Amino acid sequence: MPERLPDQTPVWDLSSVISGLQAERERWRTSHCRSIESGGREFPAPPAVHAAIKGIVAALFPMRLGPDTLRKEAEDYFVGSTLSCALGVLYEQARLELGGRSAATDPRAPALREAEAARQAETIIHGFAAALPAIRRLLDSDVEAAYRGDPAATSVDEILLCYPGVAAVIHHRVAHDLFLRGIPLVARIITEIAHSETGIDIHPGATVGESFFIDHGTGVVIGATAVIGRNVRLYQNVTLGAKRLVKGDGSMVDHDTPRHPIVEDDVVIYAGATILGRVTIGAGSVIGGNVWLTHSIPPGSQITQAQSQAGPEA
Amino acid sequence: MPERLPDQTPVWDLSSVISGLQAERERWRTSHCRSIESGGREFPAPPAVHAAIKGIVAALFPMRLGPDTLRKEAEDYFVGSTLSCALGVLYEQARLELGGRSAATDPRAPALREAEAARQAETIIHGFAAALPAIRRLLDSDVEAAYRGDPAATSVDEILLCYPGVAAVIHHRVAHDLFLRGIPLVARIITEIAHSETGIDIHPGATVGESFFIDHGTGVVIGATAVIGRNVRLYQNVTLGAKRLVKGDGSMVDHDTPRHPIVEDDVVIYAGATILGRVTIGAGSVIGGNVWLTHSIPPGSQITQAQSQAGPEA
Amino acid sequence: MPERLPDQTPVWDLSSVISGLQAERERWRTSHCRSIESGGREFPAPPAVHAAIKGIVAALFPMRLGPDTLRKEAEDYFVGSTLSCALGVLYEQARLELGGRSAATDPRAPALREAEAARQAETIIHGFAAALPAIRRLLDSDVEAAYRGDPAATSVDEILLCYPGVAAVIHHRVAHDLFLRGIPLVARIITEIAHSETGIDIHPGATVGESFFIDHGTGVVIGATAVIGRNVRLYQNVTLGAKRLVKGDGSMVDHDTPRHPIVEDDVVIYAGATILGRVTIGAGSVIGGNVWLTHSIPPGSQITQAQSQAGPEA
Amino acid sequence: MPERLPDQTPVWDLSSVISGLQAERERWRTSHCRSIESGGREFPAPPAVHAAIKGIVAALFPMRLGPDTLRKEAEDYFVGSTLSCALGVLYEQARLELGGRSAATDPRAPALREAEAARQAETIIHGFAAALPAIRRLLDSDVEAAYRGDPAATSVDEILLCYPGVAAVIHHRVAHDLFLRGIPLVARIITEIAHSETGIDIHPGATVGESFFIDHGTGVVIGATAVIGRNVRLYQNVTLGAKRLVKGDGSMVDHDTPRHPIVEDDVVIYAGATILGRVTIGAGSVIGGNVWLTHSIPPGSQITQAQSQAGPEA
Amino acid sequence: MPERLPDQTPVWDLSSVISGLQAERERWRTSHCRSIESGGREFPAPPAVHAAIKGIVAALFPMRLGPDTLRKEAEDYFVGSTLSCALGVLYEQARLELGGRSAATDPRAPALREAEAARQAETIIHGFAAALPAIRRLLDSDVEAAYRGDPAATSVDEILLCYPGVAAVIHHRVAHDLFLRGIPLVARIITEIAHSETGIDIHPGATVGESFFIDHGTGVVIGATAVIGRNVRLYQNVTLGAKRLVKGDGSMVDHDTPRHPIVEDDVVIYAGATILGRVTIGAGSVIGGNVWLTHSIPPGSQITQAQSQAGPEA
Amino acid sequence: MPERLPDQTPVWDLSSVISGLQAERERWRTSHCRSIESGGREFPAPPAVHAAIKGIVAALFPMRLGPDTLRKEAEDYFVGSTLSCALGVLYEQARLELGGRSAATDPRAPALREAEAARQAETIIHGFAAALPAIRRLLDSDVEAAYRGDPAATSVDEILLCYPGVAAVIHHRVAHDLFLRGIPLVARIITEIAHSETGIDIHPGATVGESFFIDHGTGVVIGATAVIGRNVRLYQNVTLGAKRLVKGDGSMVDHDTPRHPIVEDDVVIYAGATILGRVTIGAGSVIGGNVWLTHSIPPGSQITQAQSQAGPEA
């Protein structure tokens, strides 16, 4: 007769696992020259950024993406209350990002660095808050573009409620503004939230013109230095990527070297197309599905799969 | 010595941001002829639809997708309790969709329109509830198809617990029923919930026969007018899309114009294949990976990448 | 004047829906020879596995993926407290998986089977706990590989906070360990959690060497018998799949038949490439975007789309 | 060897318990002439009222009883957003109370009764909203009275954060306003929330003047027809109750018959005192601890335990 | 200039606090002869009991104390689903109580003791489930008694929604049934939940007849061996307590020695009355407020404060 | 036909309510000389203190008051992890209390005051953490006293799980330590949490010796300057209060003037007894139920109700 019954869960050797994990952390920290023995969080926290961006999205479109009990007459109160909270959280996350970064490079005393980080964070969030109306205006152009671009859409409202491409662009436009103001890590966390929810991966550094629409969207990748004009439409699995990441001398390219495509106004890129390198897709061009393109094309081009593989020099 | 310490978060100029956002909303509403000054929600709310569909999924497969404390002898009670709640929520969302839609087109007094929307919503949910056993039967055929189709599957139970393709099909079959009954927006919210969770984007309008299986599934897109026969199997990144959205006269096609493929019984379509337009894939055909296909093919065809690019007219 | 107002929600005919669903469940159980009339859960529960894996991830990287209030001096306490809880949950899920499996095949009395399942589950979780430090070490190599492989990355910390490829690999390495120890269903639930969050679908059976990096990642599929060497880099939409699932005699291949690629050390595979079958990609090879490859290639190969379609015999 | 292990929870005979409970509900409904076969909630729901009153309390004292992230510059937005939500909930609960009540007495068609209930609920909530500033002013007088009355208090802020007597009075003043406007059941639910949290039981019908303070408070009971003047102070376990509930003819007194004490301005009543019946405690009187009093006393009286038992006629 | 800013929270000396607390726990365990080095919970868990009792309360009165979305036509499903869950939790808690108790006294092997505890727990919960309809019937008599006894009550529904005395009695009747069946610790946890919410402290051992009503209730204490007849009414701060706890030889009385009052049918006891010892309050008696009574009184007595202090022998 | 249906909730005049409430807040702030226009919280937040105290309680008694999944081998990890979090929260609340207090009195610049508050808060929490083992030891003596004092108790474990008196004393001993260290507002919030849950109101300033037991407890009030010896036992509704709060010259007594009783070792005070003023209850005395006592009594006294009313001078 066994003494221990199945419901008596066994005892794990926790202390050896814990010390094993501690040794691994120690090894990592030593090899990355991190000697901090104690203290709190040094990076932005994804859950905090998540709360902030969801608040900002709701403040941008209160009646459609806010709480379902919201009433029109209370819109402004909701917007103010929600923004006050979300901006406060963003400010804290900006301080964490700036403080963590400066700790690695700024030889001044911690107190001075912290004060500097706080001042910068304040400037960033002030600027961001003031930019929100312009961001909303851009997003309205995106929603209208989506409505015009999809015959299956039955109303502009459906677009906001259901289209993952629009959700990804809302997150991108907010993140891009924060990226330009100097908190790229917070910005990246925001776009990764959208990536996880929609399968659309737009680097916050990418520049995107008004009336942008991504249909279906899963698998879309847009790189950090891509530049997209006005009234551009993409479908699922489109990549606007880099051709090479290694320079002639074998070293990695710098992270702000222009290496992703420029897509001019009024271009349509169908599903699965891959465009790589600092090439220019001329205005009004149409890129067919699954096309593989690594050279520039003039305005008004119509590229199909066969053409693309031959290349312009063929 | 600075007077303000880092932990004293700064004051944002909320009122100007709020009025800026208000002005943008006003501009949008004016340009879309929406003059409503006050009132509550006019569209279905995604979180409410989310709660309802999760309840329905649990009621369809109580022991495997219901709560882990559920016991077999309480199955019917759980199903009844869960459905009562979920159907009530769906009914409310149906009223919101029907009421919002009629407000734009129905010249009758609000009270009459509301009463009409309520009556329609009741009819829809009644019909949907009665269809649930048949939906479950179809889903059982899908689960068995998945089990037969994947050598990595070790049990039918694993299919329901782990396969995103099966999760997407459960959401689709429920949404398609609601789509046909007249609440396409609620239906679309349901399929987008599955899209976000699985990367599989099936428009609720698509018609899908029994024993349908999608393996892996990320990046699959199936359009609104697609028709899929029995015993069809798809892999990741397959697109069943539309070829063109603009008619000869430059206007957009109507949203119910048949423009997506017909896939007959017993077809297999491998990863990355793209099939566009109102073409017919004959019964028993096999479409190879990455194939690009824009014409019909007869039953029993075996299409590989090289063939597909030449096309029948070559 | 209608007697029922819109807010009086109608009455659904619950009993007929419930009995209809009950009949469908009965039909299913009869056809699958399940005669159990009562009792509790027989399979692992995805929400429980979710809680466990999130705890394990936080214990592996406490300061970066743990709660934002965690402080360095409390790391070990957090790790111990979190692991104690997570291992207990995993043990229960392991018992459910082992118990459910043995019920189908083991002719002994339930009590003996249960005791046996408990003993096995204990052995599995003991082994898994002891392996955690080594898993952490492997993951550190992955983080460093990601940092070296992406010029857009600004710090190793950004990698852990933002890169879905790293998140997917963390889940995979934990799941793979559990898969090898004999609880493939729990393992699969873990990788599907990552699949849903990242769009990256790595079967827990796949063998992956150190310093593995997946960039962007949406749409990546790696099959159950794939073997990946050290220092391999993949991009979005890469498939390492099986060529055929049906043997010459028409029967399905066995689920552990080697049928997915072997990728040797230092290989890079660009976006959209599809490699099918038990082929070997020689060390140091570079596979171009959208390449379709179904044969082995020697070390140091550079494959582009045109080549791949012709094949080596061309 | 037992076949069932301890962790296999037994099967309960649910169906007989359920039918037994159903029979008891049926018996009750029959004996109370309730024949409703189906439908939704007919009474206010305590959890909904709880959410509403907590919102109203936070809106009354935003910086001290609102969320800890609230900032002064966002006060008005918080108040507007919170009130919009809370008033909406209160309106629904008012409709439920009025509708349920009229169903029992109003012979008109349900639709007319519902419309009437909605109209009344709207009037009530409008009036209540307009009264909130005056309620806040009264509550400020209570806070100041508490501060003056307790030497242990170190600041007016401590009063709002810590004093159960003040919490009970906040709930009472809100509930009393709603009671007077015609929704006594909602009002009673509010005062019972305070009763549960503080041990202080003030009937919402009681009339209470400004600058009212209850110290400690557990066990205080104030009846429905009590009238309390300005600047009155009570301690724990004070009862202002009714002497008799049965009239000379043996029937119960009517629920609005004045039967509780009148306490004039500037009275202090120490712990454990019991005052019963429609007696008047003259202005400025001091009632000692544990006093038992069932007759009126003139202004300026000082009653101790010995006196009270003798009574004025002694 | 200080190096550490206010927002850099200091480091606590956790390890010495932890070892200090560990030493105290060790001291306690040694002094109470508890040598267990590892393992899980040995006592019922108040949060689990809380969840179970709230489910049982909702199942007893589904439309009034259940969720506000519940509809009449789904009552039985809700009851079945809720009870299945609540009984399962209670069974686990019963096993914990019985197992923990037997560990201290039963010399058999743990496995045998556990199996015995499981068998007993099953018997207890079976019996309890079967008793629920009778408990509901008793509670209906209490609700009616409350309605008859309080002129301020406007409907029987108000009683269930608002009266703490009724809430306390619901918890007591459930707890008393479990107490009699042999799990007094679970029973006590249930009555303490009610005590915390209502201020009414009824020991689960007390025997209470039908149609019992406690008005206001804060401060009521009813001891473990009290016996209360039918149609008894109490007010706040009534104590039915024990006179002495120490026997003539200086030892403590046994915990089941009858030492609390017997209150016969139709007795009313007003606020603040204290009745101590194994005395009998004859049927139909009325005990006045604040009365202190330590001797038996015959049926039909009317006791006021003056009388009680003198006592019958005066 | 009415244009508005019942479900169209009406529009409230939010802006006038908001400005009305704003005006009232303004009036209050002006009259209390608070001119702050913007900024964050200035007082401790009850929900934060609630989280901290619940963590500390769980860390003091991990296996009995901690989470039910806790296992003995993980106790220290749980204690460390929980304390790290709880002490961090307490430290923040201490800073808020000290900062808010100094803002009113300290003429230095805000930055200096904040830095000073942070330093003091650190000292306080350091000292408190170091005191936790001694607090636990005292609490063990209380648990044993409760077990010895109540014949209804069946085990020491039942005491911790079920006795509100013990819960109140745990909160008090923690709060008293913090009170003595200089954060009385945080301390008071802690005791009010216990007051709300148990009905027992012990001011955090009260000094309480070891082996203290309160049975039942509802309505107990113990004042700020009370001093209680070792091995004292109280029952419900006992008041240890102040006799007068107004000095001869009409001014209020100072808040630290000794004005509550001194209760020496081994005293028992039965239910409802009221002891007022700076009197001394000699060691070993027994105070009967409902006794009213305002003078000192020598050691070994036995006071019953009749005696107490006469007083010593009689």
- Give the number of other Cβ atoms within 10 Å of residue F241's Cβ: 24
Out of D7, D9, D110, name the one closest to residue C3 (CB): D110
> Between the CA atoms of E284, E290, E291 and E294, what dihedral angle is there, to the nearest 10 degrees?
110
Maximal CA-CA distance, chain A: 83
| pLDDT digit string, tens, across residues C237-295 | 999 999 876 666 767 677 788 999 999 999 999 999 999 999 999 999 999 988 889 99
**In this structure, what DSSP letter does residue B240 have?**
E
B46-60 and B184-198 helices cross at what angle (nearest 10)?
70
**CATH number at F219-314:** 2.160.10.10
CA of C250, closest CA in chain A: separation in Å? 33
Q: Do F3 and B40 touch (CB under 8 A)?
A: no
| pLDDT digit string, tens, across residues D184-207 | 999 999 999 999 999 999 999 999
For chain C, which chains pass the contact test of at least 3 CB pairs under 8 Å? A, B, D, E, F
Q: Do E218 and D195 touch (CB under 8 A)?
A: yes
Q: Does B290 touch chain C (CB under 8 A)?
A: yes
Contact D73/B8 with Cβ under 8 angstroms? no
pLDDT for E286 equals 96
> What mean pLDDT is predicted for residues D110-119?
87
List CB contacts (< 8 A) between E254 and chain F: 151
| pLDDT digit string, tens, across residues F234-290 | 999 999 999 876 666 767 677 788 999 999 999 999 999 999 999 999 999 999 988
List CB contacts (< 8 A) between B136 and chain C: 21, 24-25
Mean pLDDT rounded to a whole number for chain C: 89
pLDDT for F248 equals 66
| Closest-approach residue (CA) in chain A for E39 | A11
For the cut 60, the answer to whether the pLDDT of residue F30 exceeds it is yes
Q: Does E63 touch chain D (CB under 8 A)?
A: yes
> Which among F194, F189, F190, F137 is positioned nearest to F163, based on CA atoms?
F194
A172 CB-near residues (< 8 Å, 6+ apart): A191, A194, A202, A204, A206, A208
| Closest-approach residue (CA) in chain E for B6 | E7
Share of chain D above pLDDT 90, in %: 70
Q: For residue C6, what pLDDT band results from cuts at 50, 70 and 90? A: very low
For chain A, which chains pass the contact test of at least 3 CB pairs under 8 Å? B, C, D, E, F
> What mean pLDDT is predicted for residues A215-222?
96
Q: Does B311 touch chain A (CB under 8 A)?
A: no
pLDDT for A55 equals 97
For the cut 50, the answer to whether the pLDDT of residue D3 exceeds it is no
Residue given tokens 């002064």 in the structure block: D72
Out of B11, B71, B73, name the one closest to residue D73 (CB): B11
pLDDT for C39 equals 79
Contact E245/E252 with Cβ under 8 angstroms? yes
* Interface test with chain B among C5, C7, C17, by most B beta carbons within 10 Å: C17
Q: Do E11 and A111 touch (CB under 8 A)?
A: no
**In this structure, what DSSP letter does residue D287 have?**
E
Note the Cα F150 to chain centre separation in Å: 24
Q: For residue E36, what pLDDT band results from cuts at 50, 70 and 90? A: low
pLDDT for A6 equals 46
Q: Where are the beta strands (DSSP E) in chain D?
A: 201-202, 207-208, 213-214, 221-222, 227-228, 233-234, 239-241, 262-263, 268-269, 274-276, 280-281, 286-287, 292-293, 302-303
Q: Does D46 touch chain E (CB under 8 A)?
A: yes
For the cut 90, the answer to whether the pLDDT of residue F65 exceeds it is yes
Tokens of E146: 């409350």
> Which among A164, A192, A156 is positioned nearest to B194, based on CA atoms?
A164
Tokens of A38: 């104690």
Range scoring the smallest mean pLDDT among A114-118, E267-271, E306-310:
E306-310
Note the Cα B212 to chain centre separation in Å: 15
Antiparallel, parallel or unpaired: β A302-303 and A286-287:
parallel
CATH superfamily of F38-199: serine acetyltransferase, domain 1 (1.10.3130.10)
The total number of residues written for chain A in this structure: 314
Indicate the burial class of B251 (C-beta count within 10 angstroms; 0-12, 13-18, 19 or more): exposed
CA of E225, closest CA in chain F: separation in Å? 10
pLDDT for B1 equals 34
Q: Does E156 touch chain D (CB under 8 A)?
A: yes
| pLDDT digit string, tens, across residues A41-64 | 888 999 999 999 999 999 999 999
Domain boundaries along the sequence of chain F: 38-199, 219-314
Q: How far apart are CA E314 and CA E307, in angstroms?
A: 9
pTM: 0.93
> What mean pLDDT is predicted for residues F154-176?
94
In this chain, the answer to whether the domains covering A38-199 and A219-314 adopt an identical fold is no
F199 CB-near residues (< 8 Å, 6+ apart): D199, D218, D219, E199, E218, E219, F164, F217, F218, F219, F220
Q: Does F16 touch chain A (CB under 8 A)?
A: no
Helix/strand/coil (H, E, C) string of A118-160? HHHHHHHHHHHHHHHHHHHHHHHHHHHHHHHHCCCCCCHHHHH
Contact C212/C232 with Cβ under 8 angstroms? yes
Q: How far apart are CA C152 and CA C150, in angstroms?
A: 5
| pLDDT digit string, tens, across residues D32-59 | 877 566 678 888 999 999 999 999 999 9
* Interface test with chain A among D3, D70, D76, D84, by most A beta carbons within 10 Å: D84
Out of D5, D9, D110, name the one closest to residue C114 (CB): D5
E110-149 and E46-60 helices cross at what angle (nearest 10)?
50
CA distances from A19 to A263, C63, F81, F238 (A): 53, 16, 16, 53
Share of chain C above pLDDT 70, in %: 90
Contact B296/B261 with Cβ under 8 angstroms? no
- Residue C208 phi, psi (nearest 5): -130, 125
pLDDT for D31 equals 86
Q: How far apart are CA E155 and CA E162, in angstroms?
A: 11
For chain E, which chains pass the contact test of at least 3 CB pairs under 8 Å? A, B, C, D, F
pLDDT for D8 equals 61
> What mean pLDDT is predicted for residues A141-167?
90
List CB contacts (< 8 A) between F7 and chain C: 5-7
> Which among D174, D148, D153 is positioned nearest to D61, based on CA atoms?
D174
Q: How far apart are CA F228 and CA F261, in angstroms?
A: 8
Q: Does F156 touch chain E (CB under 8 A)?
A: yes
- Of E101 and A238, the structure prediction assigns the larger pLDDT to A238
Q: Does E39 touch chain A (CB under 8 A)?
A: yes
| pLDDT digit string, tens, across residues C79-133 | 999 999 999 999 999 999 998 887 777 778 877 888 899 999 999 999 999 999 9
Q: For residue B40, what pLDDT band results from cuts at 50, 70 and 90? A: confident
> What mean pLDDT is predicted for residues F152-175?
92
Q: Does C311 touch chain A (CB under 8 A)?
A: no
Q: Do F289 and E272 touch (CB under 8 A)?
A: no
Compute chain A's Rg from CA coordinates: 24
DSSP letters for D141-197: HHHHHHHHH-TT---HHHHHHH-HHHHHHHHHHHHHHHHHHT-HHHHHHHHHHHHHH
Range scoring the smallest mean pLDDT among A21-30, A39-48, D95-104:
D95-104
pLDDT for B220 equals 97
pLDDT for D150 equals 83
Q: For residue C24, what pLDDT band results from cuts at 50, 70 and 90? A: very high
Q: How many helices (H) and strands (E) does chain A have?
A: 9, 14
| pLDDT digit string, tens, across residues D224-243 | 999 999 999 999 999 999 98
Q: Does E137 touch chain D (CB under 8 A)?
A: yes
Q: Does F7 touch chain C (CB under 8 A)?
A: yes
| pLDDT digit string, tens, across residues B117-176 | 999 999 999 999 999 999 999 999 999 999 988 877 878 888 999 999 999 999 999 999
Q: Does B70 touch chain C (CB under 8 A)?
A: yes
